[in-house]
Every structure is written in C-alpha cells, then in structure tokens.
C-alpha cells in the first residue's frame, strides 16, 4: 500500500508540473508562423522575414531591433529567441504574443526545419515546417497582405489612388521570401555597399506583372540600409498596363508567385492639365499651346465643371484665372485633397501686389501674365511639372520597416 501511495503522489506531481509548464511556457503552432508581408502560413524560405504569434512569450513592452558589437542584429530581444534547428534567428522585434525574425540562411537545401520559440529560457515544443526555395509576398500599406501595395512612385512618393504611377514610369516595390542570394546572405547583417552592382540579388529569376502585363525589371536585390531579407524591386510600369486605382501586381521568384489581391494605382502616361478660365479666347489659346505640346488638356468654364472633372481624372496641374476668390480657393482645396501632388498656376493681367497676394491665397506655385506666348507658357508648365525621380543610379533606402501589428495570421 505505501508503494501505491508513492506512485500516486509522484504521478500527481508530474501532472502538476506538466500543467504548470503548459501555462507558463511558450506555445506555438504552425498557423502561428506567417510571412511578414503576405500574412500566410505554411512553407518558409531562407532569409524570409516572418512574424510569430506564440502564447506565453514576449515582454510586456516592445523590444525593438538591436545590433551587436559586429553590427549584426541580435538574436535575443526581450528575453525572446526564435530557433531553427537550434540556430538562433536575427530578431526584428518582440512583444507579448508577437515576434518578428529572419529565417537563417542555414535552412537552405533542407526539406524541413523545426521552429522553437524560447522565452526566459523556456522553450516551446518544436513546430516542423517545410522549406522551399522561395515564398515571395508583397508588403501592403495596411500590413494585411491585401490591397494597396507599399510602392514608391518615380517621384519618391507613395503610390495610391490619390497619387497613381504613370504608365512607363519607374516604381519600387518591397517584398520578402525571395530565398537564397548571390553572393550568399549572412544572417543579421545590414546591406550597405558602395556600388549598386555589389548588392546581393536573388539566385532565382525575378518577374513582375502589372495587370497581367510583364514589367521591365530595373533592379531586384537587397534593400539598402536594411537587414538582409527585405527585397527591393524597381520596375517600369508597362505601357499597356490597365488604368485604375486597383490594378493587380504580382511578383514571381523562381516558380513561386506572390498571393493575389495586391494592387497599385496607375494613370495614363500623358500629364493632365485642367484649365479653369472664364474667357473663351484665353481658354482656346492655352488649350492650343498645351495640346500641341502633348499634354492632355481639359477646359472648365467654372468651378463646378472643374471639380467634377478632377474627381474622375488624375490631374497634374491646374491653370486657373483668379475667379471669385473664395469659391476658387474652395475648389482648389477640394481638388488638392484628392491629388496630393497637384501643381497650381495662376493667370493674371500683370504681377501687381494684389495679383501676387491672390495667387498666394490660391496656393499657386507659378504665375502667368500677359501676353501669353507659347514659348513662355510651355517653359513655365514644363518647369512646374518636371519629375524629380529618385536617383536609381544608386538604390535608395527603404521607407519600410516591419513592425508589430494586431493582425492575426490567416489560416
């Protein structure tokens, strides 16, 4: 009988310890590990930026990325680590219930890997995930993996319905999951090289389609001044790409393509000018000058027509007479809310003090005075609309940085 009680006691202790460990130790499942850009779970690739949602792990306050003495990302943040087959991954952040890490390149050439989350020295049970060559996904503005992509237009401003990219222009997208690079990636290091040709590039071929149309790739490689794992692709918007606010964008690396549902905004290649002019003779003269120079021109005789047109077209420049000051200011203000990069030019008889003040109140960046001649008008318009593209002779730093989100993984 005493032996029986001893066995029962030991069993109770074992059960209590197991229950306690289950409550306090990290708990992780395969669905808790997602691609940081696409927010999908499943297979992983070397160098991929991932987000994990473990239970019972992570500090109460956000622990952001840190660098060690060698300039590499540390593998411990907020007493949290993520290990792949025992190899600690570079960490981007850690907070209670969420962490982001970069899959070590050591998983390359494996068919599967065991993922473990460690918090305060206690480890979760291992989760086995398949390893593939690439799992590309595009970053989006809402961090959901769907909707408007995180894309920079040629002028360096974010692509959106209010600021579409022109056909034929350069655009820049950001992604992860491209797999191994050439030269090989080194875990936790930051990409910073003197020449663009020195930046590591994916081993697998990279393609981009916009609305089903293939895009010319200008650059595809690591993002400058960011840890390895963030892919930057500079591409030219196809001349035949569909127009609209939600044109599908797909990135293909090797045989794997990014998930559907990611979009960008595209406008015609021709720059569009809106004329708001009460005098028919002046309207016709300016329209003749501008249309003859290759601009797409719309003429509005009043504020109502001007606003109606602007709601349906990506206006680049408004050339306006002074009009009724209060009404014109309101019209231009409403148009600017729709088109953040809008330029405004005002026409007037002469550059008097009153004219300059009125133009300034309208938010004008340029003033046209009589006589209106084609050389003068076109010179001022070209100066105002001249694109100042990002210097693609060297690749600029990414404006993106993965960050904690309340979005949960999609099963």
Domain boundaries, the chain: 30-130, 137-267, 272-385
Summarize pLDDT for 242-283 with one digit per residue, the tens. Answer: 999 999 999 999 999 999 999 999 988 888 999 998 889 998
pLDDT confidence of residue 276: 92
Q: Does domain 137-267 have CATH number 1.20.1050?
A: no
**Whether 66 contacts 50, CB under 8 Å:** no
Domains 137-267 and 272-385 share a fold: no
pLDDT confidence of residue 351: 83
pLDDT confidence of residue 311: 86
pTM for the full predicted model: 0.77
Question: Which regions in the chain score pLDDT beneath 50?
Answer: 1-3, 5-6, 8-22, 390-411
- Where would I find the beta strands (DSSP E) of 106-230? 112-119, 122-123, 127-130, 137-138, 147-148, 151-152, 165-166, 170-176, 181-182, 201-202, 206-210, 213-214, 216-222
64-97: string of b/e by CB count within 10 Å (b at 16+)? ebeeeeeebbebebbebbbbbeeebbbbbbbbbb
Classify domain 272-385 by CATH architecture.
3-Layer(aba) Sandwich (3.40)
Q: Does domain 30-130 have CATH number 2.60.40?
A: yes
């Amino acid at each position: 009988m005493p032996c029986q009680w001893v066995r029962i006691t030991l069993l109770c202790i074992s059960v209590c310890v197991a229950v306690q460990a289950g409550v306090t130790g990290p708990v992780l499942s395969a669905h808790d590990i997602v691609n940081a850009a696409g927010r999908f779970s499943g297979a992983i690739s070397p160098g991929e930026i991932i987000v994990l949602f473990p239970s019972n792990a992570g500090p109460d306050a956000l622990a952001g990325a840190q660098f060690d003495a060698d300039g590499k990302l540390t593998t411990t943040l907020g007493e949290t680590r993520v290990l792949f087959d025992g190899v600690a991954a570079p960490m981007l952040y850690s907070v209670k219930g969420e962490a982001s890490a970069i899959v070590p390149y050591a998983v390359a050439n494996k068919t599967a890997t065991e993922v473990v989350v460690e918090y305060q020295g206690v480890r979760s049970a291992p989760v086995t995930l398949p390893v593939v060559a690439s799992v590309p996904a595009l970053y989006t503005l809402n961090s959901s993996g769907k909707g408007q992509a995180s894309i920079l237009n040629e002028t360096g401003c974010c692509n959106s319905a209010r600021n579409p990219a022109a056909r034929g222009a350069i655009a820049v997208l950001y992604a992860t999951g491209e797999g191994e690079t050439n030269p090989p990636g080194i875990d936790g290091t930051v990409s910073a090289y003197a020449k663009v040709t020195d930046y590591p590039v994916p081993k697998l071929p990279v393609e981009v389609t916009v609305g089903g149309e293939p895009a010319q790739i200008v650059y595809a490689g690591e993002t400058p001044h960011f840890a390895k794992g963030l892919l930057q692709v500079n591409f030219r918007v196809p001349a035949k790409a569909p127009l609209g606010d939600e044109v599908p964008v797909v990135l293909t690396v090797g045989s794997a393509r990014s998930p559907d549902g990611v979009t960008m905004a595209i406008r015609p290649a021709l720059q569009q000018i809106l004329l708001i002019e009460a005098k028919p003779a002046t309207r016709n003269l300016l329209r003749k000058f501008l249309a003859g120079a290759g601009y797409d021109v719309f003429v509005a005789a009043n504020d109502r027509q001007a606003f109606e047109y602007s709601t349906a077209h990506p206006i680049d420049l408004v050339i306006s007479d002074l009009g009724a000051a209060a009404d014109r200011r309101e019209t231009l203000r409403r148009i600017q809310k729709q088109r953040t990069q809008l330029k405004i030019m005002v026409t007037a008889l002469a550059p008097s003090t009153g004219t300059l003040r009125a133009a300034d109140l309208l938010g004008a960046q340029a003033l046209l005075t009589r006589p209106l001649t084609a050389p003068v008008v076109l010179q001022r318009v070209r100066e105002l609309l001249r694109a100042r593209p990002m210097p693609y002779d060297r690749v600029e730093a990414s404006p993106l940085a993965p960050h904690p989100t309340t979005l949960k993984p999609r099963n």
